[in-house]
Structure 1
Amino acid sequence: MFLISKRFRPSLLSGVIYILICTFSLGCEARSIGDESLESLRSYGALMKSYMNLSADPCDDFYEYACGNWKNVKPPRQASHRRNNLLDIVYTLTDVTEQLLTRTQLAEALNVSEELVIAQRFYNSCLMAEVFPLPAADPAYLSLIRSIGGFPAVDGDAWNASRFSWFNMSAHLTNYGAYGLILEEISTQYPFDPYFKLPELGFDHIIHTDNIVNSSSRAYKLNEKRMRGYLNAFNLTEDKISSVINGVFDFWREAAALEDKFEGDSDKCELLEGPPFGKWRSYYEIAWNGLDFDNGSDISLFCDFYYTELDKLCSKHQEAVANYLAMVLLYRMDAKLKEGNKQKDYCLTKVQMSLSHLVSKLYMAEYFSKDTHSEISAMVKELRKSLRQVLENAEWLDTETRREALLKEASITPVIGSYRNEEISSLLIDEIGKLSVIEDSFPQSMINLQRLVTTLKRYGGLNFEKMTNDTKPLLLLLGMQVNAFYYNLDNSIYVMAGILHPPAYHRSWPDSLKFGTIGFLIGHELTHGFDTMGSTFDGRGEVNNWWSTKSEAEFQERTKCYVDHFSNYLIPEINRKINGNVTRDENIADAGGLREALAAYRSHMKKLQSSPMDNETLEPQSQQMPGLDLSAEQLFFLGFAQLWCADYEEEHFWEELTKEHTIDKYRVLGAVSNNKDFAEVYKCPLGSPMHPKANTCRLW
Structure 2
Amino acid sequence: MNQGTMFSISKYFRLAWIAGLTYILICGFPFECEARSVDNEPQDDSERENTITDETVEYLQSYGAKMKSYMNFSVDPCDDFYEYSCGNWKNVIKPRLSSDRRSNLLDIMYTLAEVTDQILTRTEMAEALNVSEEVAIAQRFYNACLAADVSPLPAADPAYLALIRSIGGFPAVDGDAWNASSFSWFNMSAHLTNYGASGLINEDEVPHFPFEPYFKLPELGFDHVVHTDIIANSSSRAYKMNEKRMRGYLKSYNLTEEKATAVVTGVFDFWRDALAVEDKFNSSEESCILLDSLHSVPAFGQWRSYYEIAWNGVDFHNGTDSSEYCDFYYTELDKVCAKHQEAVANYLSMALLYRMDAKVKDVQDQKEYCQLTVLGSMAHLINKLYMAKHFDEETHSEISAMIKKLRESFRQMLEHADWLDTETRREALLKEASITHQIGSYKDEEHSNLLIRQYRNLSVVDDSYPQSLINLRRLSISLRRYNGLHFDEIATDTKPLVLLLGMQVNAFYYNRDNSMYVMAGILHPPAYHRSWPDSLKFGTLGYLIGHEVTHGFDTVGATHDSDGQSRNWWSKKSEAVFKERSKCFVDHYSTYLIPEINRKINGNETKDENIADSGGLREALAAYRSHIKQLQKGGEDNETTAPRSDQMPGLDLSPEQLFFLGFAQLWCASYKEEHFWHELNKEHTIDKYRVLGAVTNSEDFAEIYNCKLGSAMHPKSNTCRVW
SS of 2:488's partner is helix
C-alpha contact 2:298 2:327 (8 A) present in aligned 1: yes
Counterpart residue type for residue 353 of structure 1 = G
CA contact (8 A) 1:27 1:378 kept: no
C-alpha contact (below 8 Å) 1:29/1:613 kept by paired residues: no
User: 1:220-252 CA distances to partner (integer Å, 9 max, x unpaired)?
Assistant: 000000000000000010000000000000000
- Correspondent of 2:62 among 13, 18, 43: 43
User: Which residue of 165, 168, 192 corresponds with 1:146?
Assistant: 165
- Residue equivalent to 1:636: 659
Q: How does 1:459-474 map to 2 (within 5 A)?
A: 459-474=482-497
Q: CA deviation at 1:90?
A: 0.5
Quick one: distance in 2 between partners of 1:264 and 1:258?
Answer: 13
Over the matched positions of the two proteins, sequence identity in percent amounts to 71
C-alpha displacement of 1:276: 2.5
Q: Cα deviations across residues 338-361 of structure 1 (Å, max 9, x unaligned)?
A: 222200000001111110100010
Does the 8 Å CA contact 1:151/1:322 hold for their aligned counterparts? yes
Which amino acid in 2 is paired with 1:604?
H
Tell me which residue corresponds to 2:234.
215
Paired residues of 2:633 and 2:640 also in contact (CA < 8 A): no
Cα offsets for 1:352-400 (capped at 9, x unmatched): 1110100010000001000010000000000000010010000100011
- Partner-residue secondary structure (3-state), 2:558: helix
Task: Answer whether contact 1:85 1:645 (CA < 8 A) is retained.
Answer: yes
- Contact conserved, 1:115 with 1:433, CA < 8 A, in 2? yes
Is the CA contact 2:11–2:683 (under 8 Å) kept in the aligned structure 1? no
Which residue matches 1:5? none
The match for 1:11 is 12
Whole-Å separation in 2 of the counterparts to 1:501 and 1:359: 18
Shift of 1:596: 0.1
* 1:430-486 Cα distance to aligned partner (Å, 9 max, x none): 111111100100000000000011011100100111111111111000000001000
CA distance in 2, matches of 1:614, 1:436: 68
SS at match of 1:692: coil
Give the structure 1 partner of residue 111 of structure 2.
Answer: 92
Question: Do 2:586 and 2:607's aligned partners in 1 also have CA atoms closer than 8 Å?
Answer: yes
Pick aligned residue for 1:549 from 572, 581, 584:
572
2:148/2:465 contact within 8 Å kept:
yes
Aligned to 2:457: 434
Partner of 2:38: 25
**For the residues of structure 1 that align with 2:615 and 2:330, how far apart are their CA atoms?**
39
What TM-score, normalized by structure 2, do the two folds share?
0.94
Match of 1:185 in 2: 204
Output the amino acid matched with 1:95. Answer: E
Aligned AA for 1:612?
A: G
Of 370, 374, 377 in structure 2, the residue corresponding to residue 351 of structure 1 is 374
Taking the aligned partners of 1:647 and 1:614, their CA distance within structure 2 comes to 52
Match of 2:399? 376
Q: Which residue of the partner structure matches residue 121 of structure 1?
A: 140
Of 657, 681, 686, the match for 1:658 = 681
CA contact (8 A) 1:13 1:188 kept: no
Which residue identity is paired with 1:336?
Answer: K
C-alpha displacement of 1:80: 1.5
Trace 1:446-465 onto structure 2 (pairs within 5 A). Answer: 446-465=469-488
Structure 2, gaps ≥5 residues long: 1-9, 19-30
Q: Secondary structure at the match of 1:433?
A: helix
Give the one of 122, 133, 143 matched to 2:152.
133
Cα pair distance change 1:624/1:353, threshold 3 Å: same
**What is aligned with 2:467?**
444
Aligned 8 A contact 1:523 1:597 in 2: yes
How many angstroms does 1:622 deviate by?
Answer: 1.6
Alignment of 1:556-567 (within 5 A): 556-567=579-590
Find the residue that maps to 2:717 and give its secondary structure: coil
Report the counterpart of residue 513 of structure 1 in structure 2. 536
Whole-angstrom distance in 1 between the partners of 2:539 and 2:215: 36
* Structure 2 CA distance for aligned equivalents of residues 616 and 506 of structure 1: 30
Cα distance between partner residues in 2 of 1:652 and 1:94: 23
Confirm or deny: 8 A CA contact 1:278 1:300 kept in the other structure: no
Partner of 2:223: 204
* Deviations, residues 194-216 of structure 1 (Å, cap 9, x unaligned): 00101000000000011111111
Q: Does 1:321 align with 2:344?
A: yes
Shift of the alpha carbon at 1:616? 9.9
1:620 deviates by 6.0
| Between 298-307 and 146-155, the greater mean CA deviation after superposition | 298-307
Task: Report matched runs for 1:566-585 at 5 Å.
Answer: 566-585=589-608
Counterpart residue number, 2:518: 495
Matches within 5 A, 1:665-680: 665-680=688-703
* 1:694 maps to 2:717: yes
Contact 1:82–1:648 under 8 Å retained in 2 = yes
Structure 1 equivalent of residue 298 of structure 2: 275
Tell me which residue corresponds to 1:4. Answer: none
Q: Would you say the 8 A contact 1:277–1:300 is kept in 2?
A: no
- Partner residue of 1:105? 124
Aligned-pair distance for 1:613? 7.3
Per-residue CA deviation, residues 29-80 of structure 1 (Å, 9 max, x unaligned), is 1612322111110000000000000111100100000000000111111011
TM-fit CA distance, 1:265: 4.4
Partner residue, 1:478: 501
Name the aligned partner's letter for residue 28 of structure 1: E
Distance (Å, rounded) in 1 between the aligned partners of 2:595 and 2:446: 50
Q: 1:159 to 1:412 in 2, by over 3 A?
A: same
Which stretches in structure 1 are left out of the alignment for 5+ residues?
Answer: 1-8
Which amino acid in structure 1 is aligned with residue 74 of structure 2? Answer: S
Residue 66 of structure 1, aligned match among 60, 85, 88? 85
Cα offsets for 1:166-213 (capped at 9, x unmatched): 000000000000120000001101111000101000000000011111
Find runs of 4+ consecutive structure 1 residues off by over 6 angstroms.
Answer: 613-617
Inter-partner Cα distance in structure 1 for 2:328 and 2:484: 27
* Cα separation, partners in 2 of 1:95 and 1:614, compared to 1, 3 Å: farther
- Amino acid in structure 1 at the alignment position of 2:241: L
Aligned to 1:388: 411
SS of 1:173's equivalent in the other structure is helix
CA–CA separation in structure 1 for the residues paired with 2:213 and 2:627: 44
Partners of 2:150 and 2:358 within 8 A in 1: yes
Match of 1:226 among 237, 245, 249: 245
Task: Specify whether residues 613 and 83 from structure 1 end up closer, same or farther in structure 2 by C-alpha distance, changes over 3 A only.
Answer: farther
1:415 partner SS: strand
The amino acid of 2:657's aligned partner reads Q
Deviation at 1:489, TM superposition (A): 0.9
Residue aligning to 1:424 = 447
The reply to whether residue 294 of structure 1 matches residue 295 of structure 2 is no
1:478–1:613 CA distance, 2 compared to 1 (3 A): farther
SS of alignment partner, residue 204 of structure 1: coil
Aligned to 1:6: none
Amino acid at match of 2:519: M
RMSD of aligned alpha carbons: 1.4
Q: Distance in 1 between matches of 2:284 and 2:234?
A: 27
- Partners of 1:187 and 1:24 in 2: how far apart? 38
Secondary structure, counterpart of 1:297 in structure 2: coil
Asked whether the equivalents of residues 25 and 507 of structure 1 are also in contact (C-alpha less than 8 Å), the reply is: no
Q: Partners of 1:616 and 1:75 in 2: how far apart? A: 48
Among residues 250, 254, 259, which one is paired with 2:278 in the alignment? 259
- Indicate yes or no: 2:268 matched with 1:249: yes
Aligned-residue offset at 1:269: 3.3
Mapped partners of 1:461, 1:477: distance in 2: 16
Distance 1:612 1:238 in 2: 81
Q: How many residues align?
A: 692
